[in-house]
Amino acid sequence: MLGLRNVLGTSPLAACGALFILSGCSGAEFTGGAGTAGKSSTGGSSASAGQDTGGSSTGGSTGDAGETSGGAPDLGGSTGTGGTVSGGCDCDAGEYCRDGSVDCFACAELNRLNFSTPERLATVSDNGQGSHFPRVGATGTDLLYRFEGAGLRYTADASTSAGSTVQTSLATDSAPLLLGSSVNGVPTVKLMGFNFVFDRLEEGRRWLYLAQWNAGLMSSERAPAPYNDGTDNYSMAIATKPGTDGVARAFWMSRDTNTMVPPALFTARLAANDPAMPVALTIGQKMCRADDADLAPWVTSNGKTLLVSHPRLDANCKPTGQGKDIYTALLEPATGQPTTSALPMNDINSPMDDVEPSFSVDMCDLYFASDRDGKFALYRAHRR
């Protein structure tokens, strides 16, 4: 796998569209925010072009609020508020009201990404040394996250309780991801399928683990090759429905601390003998290479939208040393490769580190970790 990094030359992918209004980049999925009509909260509705027909996921991809089949959404995302936003609007669950209007828009439509001021989630952030990787649990109120020094933590209601450490979790465990359905087809020793992934520090490096979750962490085992390859492998995200063949696609970080090979993002289908390929991601409208960074990827269940965090870059594509920002890019689901450069989410980003983003199950809220208040805490921002 390490040799694959040599092909990560400057990508020809172009950044297109204005910030958060990703138009003309990938067919009809993102056709612009200002030009799409929404449903008025006082009656009447009109179709909105540019709908992301997939939903969202946890740390990887498990919610799907906008499935074309019209089925129920996958479990995943975060502890969303159902999309109800203050300001005189009366929107249904899964909708939000834009600033300065009374029109309701489906949160599953990702052609326009604007957010209200992020709010700090004190319940899951106040105690301890810091909180990371907010990811949805199995309902609309619960949350999985990493608590520094304790490992993975689960709460049934993130607004009222910090929850407790997941049984059998170790202090080094990180990046929890609970899927809405079981994934099959990956050869394992004892698991017939899995619906939970995380990573763990063992034997001097990080390993990806596949597991079964049923009201708690059950059986788990190390992921086979190519997801573990003898180097550090961590921060897995999964698009559960990227195509019509029913095969999920994984994204994860890999690095070799022994040879000083920097972190790189890889993708592979969750199927036997599918090779790992580097993701040729670029950052910003200057298309800077996404190098030397733990991206903490998260992807929607249809495999079309990627969230990452990356160090802030200057005009020469060099890290400024002034913190990390959250970015979003469009993907081609069949290959897992970007069709746009990753653009910063300026409504969310602060002068400090903003990392580990994920959407709520209904796509109405963005969750992330930030040290803007002195230590890493979890934050939530509503669509607007």
Structural domains present in the chain: 116-382 (2.115.10.20)
CA atoms of 23 and 34, how far apart (whole Å): 11
pLDDT at position 258 is: 76
Per-residue pLDDT of the chain (384 residues; tens, 9 = 90+): 544 444 334 433 333 443 455 543 433 343 333 344 556 555 444 333 333 444 444 444 443 433 333 333 333 333 334 444 444 688 999 999 988 788 999 999 999 999 999 999 999 999 888 999 999 877 778 899 999 999 999 999 888 999 999 999 999 999 999 998 899 989 888 898 999 999 999 999 999 999 999 989 999 999 999 999 989 999 999 999 999 999 999 999 999 877 777 899 999 999 988 999 999 999 999 999 997 789 999 999 999 999 999 999 999 999 998 999 999 999 999 999 999 999 999 999 999 999 999 998 889 999 999 999 999 999 999 999
Q: From residue 361, how far is each of 63, 82, 135 by CA, in Å?
A: 5, 9, 10
CA atoms of 182 and 212, how far apart (whole Å): 8
Closest CA to 354 of 371, 374, 341: 371
- Which stretches of 107-217 are DSSP H helices? none
DSSP state of 74: P
Only one residue has tokens 């994204």, namely: 251
Q: Which residues contact 90 (CB under 8 A, 6 or more apart)?
A: 41, 42, 104
| Token pair of 107 as six digits | 């949160």
Q: Which residues contact 225 (CB under 8 A, 6 or more apart)?
A: none
